[in-house]
Amino acid sequence: MKYIARVEDHEFIVEVGNDNTVTINNRTYRLDMQSIGDQQIYSMLLSDHSYEVFVNRNESGYDVLVAGERHEVSVEDEYTRRIANIGGKTHALKGEAQVKAPMPGLVVSVKAREGDVVKHGQGLVILEAMKMENELRAPWEGVVKQIKVSAGQKVDQGQVLLIVAAE
């Protein structure tokens, strides 16, 4: 099955093989991936490189932490992509998005205030987890409707940190 993965502003065509291979943009790699414990942490061997990967599902896709870098990843299969492209016309985003902690940690700083207008991808909260600082960003353009945490506060995985209303 083919998937389209979007990481920040880059798109990747990903095809998962039945023979422990994955093809990314027409390049094939050997893949071995094992879950570590009960959490969303995986040990991944991609060709000759080893990675520890933390994956957390959220409303818009996945938060993925690899080698100290946090990435927002959305994934859709090729069938869903084709159906979406048939519709042609797109609709403006409506409603609210909850920015949640992708893992337990400590809020280092809150970079926005209630009422602030924010752009897609703008840094909102710095969360320290697994001895690394992770910047949580605005999921879309909008207004910060509510902030539910403050600097120095410990948070649980999935806890709502703030709410951004679409403009």
Q: What CA–CA distance (Å, rounded) separates 7 from 119?
A: 17
Q: Determine the pLDDT at residue 75.
A: 85
Q: Determine the pLDDT at residue 87.
A: 58
Residue 162 has pLDDT above 90, yes or no: yes
Q: What is the pTM of this model?
A: 0.53
Which tens digits make up the pLDDT trace of 59-112? 778 888 888 788 888 888 777 667 666 655 445 556 788 888 888 899 999 999
Q: How many structural domains are present in the chain?
A: 2
Taking Cα atoms as reference points, which of 62, 65, 61 lies closest to residue 51?
A: 65
Judgement on whether residues 63 and 38 belong to the same structural domain of the protein: yes
Q: Determine the pLDDT at residue 153.
A: 96
pLDDT-based confidence at residue 9 (cuts at 50, 70, 90): confident
Which alpha helices (H) appear in 3-139, and where do they start and end? 78-87
Q: Determine the pLDDT at residue 85.
A: 66
- CATH number of the domain within which 36 lies: 3.30.700.30
Judgement on whether residues 54 and 120 belong to the same structural domain of the protein: no
Q: What CA–CA distance (Å, rounded) separates 13 from 19?
A: 18
- CATH number of the domain within which 142 lies: 2.40.50.100
Which tens digits make up the pLDDT trace of 23-63? 999 999 998 888 887 667 888 888 888 988 888 877 778 88
Tokens of 66: 């690899």
Which tens digits make up the pLDDT trace of 105-139? 999 999 999 999 998 888 899 998 877 888 888 87
Judgement on whether residues 16 and 80 belong to the same structural domain of the protein: yes
